[in-house]
Amino acid sequence: MNLLVNAEFDEPTLVEAVVSKDGYSRFRVPRAWQGGVLSVPTPFRWINRIPEGAAHTGARKLSGVRSFHVYYDYGTFSAWLYQRVPVTPSTPLSGGAHVYIEGTDGAVARVGIDPLGGENPFARTVVWSPWATQRDAWTPCAVSVGAESASVTLFLYATQTNYVDPNGVYWDAAFVNGTPLGGESQSGMQTVKLAYNMRFRAGPGTQHTEIARLERGTTVTLLARSLDGLWLWVEAEGRQGWLATQFITTPDRVMGLPVMK
């Protein structure tokens, strides 16, 4: 069972993941995905640029009606997409995607899974596939791991060393095949409608980054809870994050959810 949302990048909606300090460069990613870039300053302006992200409907797609194109012509970038998905702990799973590399030698891509559900692609816990290096062809990338928590994170990572035009990658047909959290299908999970406008956060607490604002009436799926039950890990509008319990539901519904550590 593919646990990803918008796995084939067929939905045209893009959201901003990274914005430069001057507001000029913006890396946009598909709905339900998040993204990041390596932005370490160097003496050379063409290195570590913030790339463009675009829904691609042309010839370079593997399945469905769109692929996702990440590029920066005459500049290099290191950029990644990622999606965190709920899974049953201590179960096997596999994840991956297909990548099409355009440009010149020195462009590479790979996929990775963090079995702890982290959002840092440079963490030691991430298990990576071999690098894909073939140009002008679709290359499958995949990796298998065992889930070590109630969520795992799939990363799609691309980088290059030469600045040319064109210079980018296309991603398509991503997947995380595994056992859903609790062994249930998404349709079997609890859902509630928000009675208030709420801040959607990256972690269980007000100290964590606000990733979105959810409007009153939004339907959210309850996936898990914090150990103290004060925060709920939910899915809303194709993204996963945390909401304060007190504004959503009653304690009896919360304590029956698995704990997300």
Rounded CA separation 223/231 (Å): 11
pLDDT of 247 higher than 90: no
pLDDT digits (tens, 9 = 90+) for 162-207: 877 788 999 999 999 888 776 544 444 678 888 889 999 888 888 8
Write down the architecture of domain 14-182 according to CATH: Sandwich (2.60)
Name the residue with higher pLDDT: 31 or 21: 31
**How confident is the model at residue 181, as a pLDDT?**
75
Picking from 85, 87, 80, 73, the residue whose alpha carbon sits closest to that of residue 108 is 80
Rounded CA separation 179/33 (Å): 20
Name the residue with higher pLDDT: 41 or 30: 30
Pair of tokens at residue 51:
């790339």
Rounded CA separation 139/58 (Å): 18
What's the chain's average pLDDT? Answer: 86
**Continuous segment of H or E residues that includes residue 106:** none
Rounded CA separation 12/26 (Å): 17
Of the pLDDT bands very low, low, confident and very high (cuts 50, 70, 90), residue 67 is very high
Neighbours of 162 (CB within 10 A): 12
CA 44 vs CA 40, 41, 47, 154: distances in Å = 11, 8, 6, 31
| Cβ-contact 144, 174 below 8 angstroms | no
Q: Reduced to 3 DSSP states, what percent helix, strand and coil does the chain have, rounded to the nearest 5?
A: 5, 45, 50
Name the residue with higher pLDDT: 257 or 83: 83
Name the fold adopted by 189-254: SH3 type barrels. (2.30.30)
Of the pLDDT bands very low, low, confident and very high (cuts 50, 70, 90), residue 125 is very high
Domain ranges of the chain: 14-182, 189-254
For tokens 């012509």, what's the residue?
73
Rounded CA separation 175/30 (Å): 15
Q: Which of 18-22, 53-57, 108-112, 252-256 has the lowest mean pLDDT?
A: 252-256
**How confident is the model at residue 182, as a pLDDT?**
62
**How confident is the model at residue 187, as a pLDDT?**
43
**How confident is the model at residue 53, as a pLDDT?**
93
